[in-house]
């Protein structure tokens, strides 16, 4: 069994990556495998897809939450950490706005129920 990749195929029996090069022996074996009527697994549609037991790509919501949403969320939190330092010069009303923004960021992964193209990030205070 083979899986299509960006530059060739991956042989699943040993996870060998085989480049699409005509004089490559492994590539020629793959071409013969195709001629015998076999069908490779398509390329992964996105990093958030996983293979199911039928060798079909399915969207993995938890993987998307962990790889996309939480990573970006953590970067947004880190970018404004300094504002929450006790000695940062900011008035209490602005501090409260930033606290609410950061709470919304922390809560966001739990509010999502499906993979979306545009993550609904809260707006940061100005």
Please check whether residues 87 and 120 belong to one and the same domain.
yes
Confidence of residue 126 (pLDDT cuts 50, 70, 90): confident
Please check whether residues 73 and 120 belong to one and the same domain.
yes
Domain residue limits at 26: 2-43
Please check whether residues 114 and 52 belong to one and the same domain.
yes
Please check whether residues 98 and 39 belong to one and the same domain.
no
Q: Does residue 11 sit in helix, strand or coil?
A: strand
Alpha-carbon span 105 to 98, nearest angstrom: 10
pLDDT tens string 15-68? 999 999 999 999 999 999 999 999 999 999 999 999 899 889 999 999 999 999
Please check whether residues 51 and 39 belong to one and the same domain.
no
Alpha-carbon span 12 to 2, nearest angstrom: 6
The number of folded domains in the chain is: 2
β-bridge partners, 5: 8
Residue 55: what pLDDT?
Answer: 86
Mean pLDDT of 109-113: 97
Please check whether residues 75 and 114 belong to one and the same domain.
yes
Contact 69, 61 (CB under 8 A): no
Q: Is 111 exposed, middle or buried (0-12, 13-18, 19+ CB in 10 A)?
A: exposed
Residue 91: what pLDDT?
Answer: 94
Mean pLDDT of 102-120: 96
Please check whether residues 76 and 110 belong to one and the same domain.
yes
Please check whether residues 66 and 77 belong to one and the same domain.
yes
Q: Tell me, yes or no, if the pTM score tops 0.75.
A: no
Please check whether residues 57 and 100 belong to one and the same domain.
yes
Confidence of residue 72 (pLDDT cuts 50, 70, 90): very high
Please check whether residues 25 and 49 belong to one and the same domain.
no
Please check whether residues 82 and 24 belong to one and the same domain.
no
Mean pLDDT of 80-102: 96
Please check whether residues 58 and 119 belong to one and the same domain.
yes
């Amino acid at each position: 069994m083979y899986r299509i990749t960006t530059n060739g195929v991956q042989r699943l029996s040993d996870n060998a990556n085989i480049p699409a090069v005509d004089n490559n022996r492994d590539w020629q074996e793959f071409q013969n495998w195709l001629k015998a009527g076999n069908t490779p697994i398509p390329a992964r549609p996105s990093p958030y897809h996983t293979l199911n037991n039928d060798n079909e790509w399915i969207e993995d919501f938890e993987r998307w939450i962990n790889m996309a949403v939480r990573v970006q969320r953590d970067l947004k939190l880190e970018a404004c950490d300094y504002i929450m330092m006790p000695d940062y010069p900011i008035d209490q009303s602005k501090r409260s706005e930033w606290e609410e923004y950061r709470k919304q960021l922390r809560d966001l992964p739990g509010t999502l129920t499906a993979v979306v193209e545009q993550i609904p990030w809260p707006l940061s205070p100005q």
